[in-house]
Amino acid sequence: MRWLQLYSKIANKFIVYLIFLSVIPLLILGISSYHISQSTLQAEAQRYTLQLLRDQRDYLALQLEQVEALIANISGVEAILEAISVAGAASDTYTQLATQAHIGYILNNYLNLKGLVSIDIFSVNGNHYHVGDTLDVSQVDAATVQSIFQVAIPSDRLVLWTGVERNANLNSSEKQVLTAAKVLRRVNRKTLDREPIALLLANYSINDLYDQFHRIDLGKNAYLQVVDQHNRVIYHPDRTLIGAPPDPSSWRARLDEDWSLTATINGESYTISHV
């Protein structure tokens, strides 16, 4: 009996040692592998998301560069600058209408860029030249035009993007647009100074950008947000938020870098990536 009891104790100890030496290490290894795999998958997902955002950023930059090139081409057309100057000096209706038709004909050749809503020229003498989505330009948001003009005059940029703006053409179907501006100048023959004669605006479609970004599949419970330099939303899945400040404002940290971080918002854990 004693021998059996001793054998039983040895067997129990052996089993305990066996569990300790084999099962527990395997369990620890399994748990460690799970956490490592989870971290690796999360890191890969963040890298994928960042690369996807970079690709979209670069594509958007290319689209905006095309608009900038268009504005540069228009601003270099001497016939437009001459026509604006002549119309400003003339007071008869015929000259005004002829200038309107001449400039409209020239501008119309630049309307083939996808996403472009309209091209407008507002002269310092109050004349308005327009081609675009609507022929009815009887109602103009003068406050918006003046605000952009005041910002564009001192700017040293060749083309100034003012971000999401209210469309200056109130009869347009596109109520909000992404606006690029350039002040047209001409040398005053008396003073030899370059003086502003008009404001050139190119309005890009927010709706086109919405359709473009909305097609991107980021996966379940993920969404994209595009913000302009004035912290106004250019794109959000919820159209009503376009033009408003993004939420939460804390996402604006380190805006000069590409980064990913994990944050808890309204009790939910989110991975936020920025480019």
Domains and CATH numbers, the chain: 64-209 (3.30.450)
Neighbours of 200 (CB within 10 A): 21
Question: Is the pLDDT score of 24 beyond 70?
Answer: no
Task: Encode pLDDT of 168-188 as tens digits.
Answer: 999 999 999 999 999 999 887
| Reported pTM | 0.79
Question: Is the pLDDT score of 55 beyond 50?
Answer: yes
pLDDT band at 4 (very low <50, low <70, confident <90, very high): very low
190 near 171, Cβ under 8 Å? Answer: no
Q: How far apart are CA 44 and CA 239, in angstroms?
A: 30
Average pLDDT over residues 2-30: 60
Of residues 178, 151, 149, the one with CA closest to residue 166: 178
Q: Which residues are within 8 A (CB) of 172 and not within 5 positions of it... i.e. 6 or more apart?
A: 117, 118, 132, 133, 134
Round to the nearest angstrom and report the end-to-end CA distance of the chain. Answer: 77
Question: Is the pLDDT score of 65 beyond 50?
Answer: yes
Task: Encode pLDDT of 133-149 as tens digits.
Answer: 887 888 999 999 999 99
Beta-bridged to residue 265, according to DSSP, are 268
Given this model, what pLDDT does residue 210 score?
Answer: 94
Task: Encode pLDDT of 29-52 as tens digits.
Answer: 667 666 666 666 666 767 777 888
Question: Is the pLDDT score of 94 beyond 80?
Answer: no
pLDDT band at 208 (very low <50, low <70, confident <90, very high): very high
